[in-house]
Amino acid sequence: MSASVATTAPANPRSRVVLASLVGTTIEFYDFYAYATAAVLVFPILFFPTGDDTTALLASFGVFGAAMVARPIGAMVFGHFGDRFGRKATLVASLLTMGIATFLIGCLPTYQSIGWWAALLLLLLRLAQGFALGGEWSGAALVATENAPKGKRAWYGTFPQMGAPLGFIIANTIFLIINVALPHPDGALQRSEAFLSWGWRVPFWFSAVMVIIGLWVRLKLVESESFTKAEKRGAIRKFPLGETLRRHWKQLILGTFIMLATYVLFYLMTNFTLSYGTKATLEGAKAAAETAGTAFDAASYVPGLGFGYIDFVLMQIIGVVFFGIFTLLAGPVADAVGRRKLLLWITGGIIVFGLVFNVFLLPQADPKFTGALVQAFLIFGFALMGATFGPMGALLPELLPTNVRYTGSAVAYNVSSILGAALAPIIAVALWAAAGGSPWLVGVYLSGAGVLTLIALLLSRETKDVDYDDAELGLGETASL
């Protein structure tokens, strides 16, 4: 009996699988959202004081996007160790890296203190965040799907995906509470000087508490049966990335483009809409300039919708609730009808959604009607986001065998982050400016990404009935490299 116990990996109970995959990604996405919010509200002023609002915002988004470049590197490093030595230690390391980097962002001096060194330090810590997230998602997805009962992989795969809406709600709620609690001597709708001085740091420091909780859960994990079987049968590769590139490059390309529309939609709904929604209208900016006694160039100004920060973030949070609901609903549907069939329909919806941006996002004569249209836009967009994001936790890992599953799914997921997430905020701001303040070109950009994803789905196969145990040996090749 003792030999049997020694050679058989204990099963992870469902509650532990759910918590380990959900808590970690919630923390990771919380950290990313904290930066994303600060990138719009704080960093253009404190770290990139260029003298021009659009240029400062682009610089802030440039650093935001730089983390996406680091994510494939993190995917290769964490994927290598995850496929060679197991998922548990890799997940703990990625969480620690992310938590430390985020905490240190909250400690950074600003441009006013050390000049452009502040922006450089912010960039380095942002790269560390991206590096960590590069290994986090795939590990969490594998913990969920490799421990899932038969026929429920997509449902279990939604647990790590739920970290995205939960992280968004927690991060933005904390920002809201801090912003409301601090004094606003110039009016509730104006930016608080106390918030700019120190309040923005608190959400980054708070991440330390969440990391401790996540580590406590993850240290209790044991390796999945799929990985231990592959290890016993000699299927583990010494260089998983080389094996992935040599034998599974088609799956990498397809997985990358299958994720593309999801990433573009995700960052347009979070970053771009916050920028566009909270930037003053042309009339509002002109009135503010007159009040301040400063010159105003209407020809070069790129207007937004003029919502207050608190009002718009509350609208976003309402939308993100639908993000979470549709993420959970997408799992059982994908288990029932298949991942590919569901995503073909949802991607078609994303393409149509991109073509109607101007229907929802242009200011109307009645401000209440504008608000109603924007709220509907956020609900529709985030619902589509949940429906497309939910099945990805199962689909990308299912494209690859166990011995390269961590590396392959991580690389596909994170290379897509460069093509989609890293470029989306910058392209969106440039298109917004090129259209003179209208968002219609931004919507066309989303539709174009949707078309590429649709093509990748049409070229891919259904993975619903892929057997993890059959796939784990790399099509029957068991010799170690």
Task: For residue 262, give every residue at least 6 positions away whose Cβ sits within 8 Å of its Cβ, in sequence order, or none.
Answer: 385, 388, 389, 392, 416, 420, 453
CB atoms inside a 10 Å sphere around CB 121: 17
**By CB neighbour count within 10 A (0-12 exposed, 13-18 middle, 19+ buried), where does 383 fall?**
buried
- With bands split at pLDDT 50, 70 and 90, how would you rate the model's confidence at 51? low
Q: Is pLDDT of 380 > 60?
A: yes
End-to-end CA distance of the chain: 33
Classify the C-alpha dihedral 268-269-270-271 as positive or negative: positive
Mean pLDDT of 285-290: 81
In this structure, what token pair is assigned to residue 329? 């609903």
Task: For tokens 């930037």, name the residue.
Answer: 279
Determine which helix (DSSP H) or strand (DSSP E) holds 452, and give its type and residue range: helix 440-459
The pLDDT, as a whole number, for residue 8 is 43
Max avg pLDDT among 67-81, 231-245, 341-355, 456-470: 341-355
The mean-pLDDT minimum among 82-91, 201-210, 276-285, 380-389 falls in 82-91
In percent, how much of the chain has pLDDT > 90? 29
Mean pLDDT of 426-437: 89
Q: Which position has the higher pLDDT, 295 or 345?
A: 345
Mean pLDDT of 255-267: 94
The pLDDT, as a whole number, for residue 235 is 59
CA–CA gap between residue 213 and residue 233 (Å, rounded): 35
Q: Is pLDDT of 10 > 60?
A: no
- With bands split at pLDDT 50, 70 and 90, how would you rate the model's confidence at 227? low
- 254: phi then psi, degrees, rounded to nearest 5: -60, -45
- With bands split at pLDDT 50, 70 and 90, how would you rate the model's confidence at 226? low
- With bands split at pLDDT 50, 70 and 90, how would you rate the model's confidence at 474? very low
Q: Is pLDDT of 4 > 50?
A: no
In this structure, what token pair is assigned to residue 186? 């110039």
Give the CA dihedral 72, 447, 386, 210, nearest 10 degrees.
40
Mean pLDDT of 299-309: 85
The pLDDT, as a whole number, for residue 374 is 95
Q: Is pLDDT of 61 > 80?
A: no
pTM: 0.81
- 8 A C-beta contact, residue 216 and residue 347: no
Q: Which position has the higher pLDDT, 6 or 137?
A: 137
Classify the C-alpha dihedral 87-93-98-103 as positive or negative: positive
The mean-pLDDT minimum among 398-402, 411-415, 470-474 falls in 470-474
- 365: phi then psi, degrees, rounded to nearest 5: -60, -35
- With bands split at pLDDT 50, 70 and 90, how would you rate the model's confidence at 223? low
- With bands split at pLDDT 50, 70 and 90, how would you rate the model's confidence at 476? very low
Mean pLDDT of 22-44: 79
In percent, how much of the chain has pLDDT > 70? 88
The pLDDT, as a whole number, for residue 260 is 96
The pLDDT, as a whole number, for residue 11 is 61
Cα-based distances in Å from 32 to 37, 312, 419: 9, 19, 18
CA–CA gap between residue 71 and residue 413 (Å, rounded): 9
Q: Compute CA 46 distance to the chain's CA centroid, rounded to the nearest angstrom.
A: 24
The mean-pLDDT minimum among 163-167, 300-304, 322-326 falls in 300-304
Max avg pLDDT among 235-244, 329-338, 362-371: 329-338
Mean pLDDT of 104-110: 90
CA–CA gap between residue 136 and residue 141 (Å, rounded): 9
Residue-wise pLDDT tens digits, 146-184: 888 888 999 999 999 998 899 888 888 888 888 778 765
DSSP letter string over 174-236?
Answer: HHHHHHHHS--TT-TTSPPHHHHHTGGGHHHHHHHHHHHHHHHHHTT----HHHHHHHHTT--
Task: For tokens 């976003």, name the residue.
Answer: 316
Cα-based distances in Å from 329 to 57, 157, 383: 36, 12, 10
CB atoms inside a 10 Å sphere around CB 37: 25
Position 122, amino acid: L
The mean-pLDDT minimum among 31-35, 375-379, 416-420 falls in 31-35
Q: Is pLDDT of 199 > 50?
A: yes
Q: Is pLDDT of 225 > 70?
A: no
Residue in 411, 460, 473 with CA at minimum distance from that of residue 76: 411
The pLDDT, as a whole number, for residue 388 is 96
- With bands split at pLDDT 50, 70 and 90, how would you rate the model's confidence at 358? very high
The pLDDT, as a whole number, for residue 456 is 97
CA–CA gap between residue 262 and residue 343 (Å, rounded): 10
CA–CA gap between residue 136 and residue 463 (Å, rounded): 22
Residue in 330, 466, 461, 344 with CA at minimum distance from that of residue 389: 330
In this structure, what token pair is assigned to residue 10? 């204990």
Mean pLDDT of 244-273: 91
The pLDDT, as a whole number, for residue 229 is 64
CA–CA gap between residue 466 and residue 202 (Å, rounded): 45
Q: Is 435 helix (H, G, I), strand (E, B) or coil?
A: coil
The length of the chain, given as a count of residues: 481
The pLDDT, as a whole number, for residue 140 is 84
Query: What mean pLDDT is reported for the chain?
Result: 83
In this structure, what token pair is assigned to residue 480? 């170690």
Q: Is pLDDT of 481 > 50?
A: no
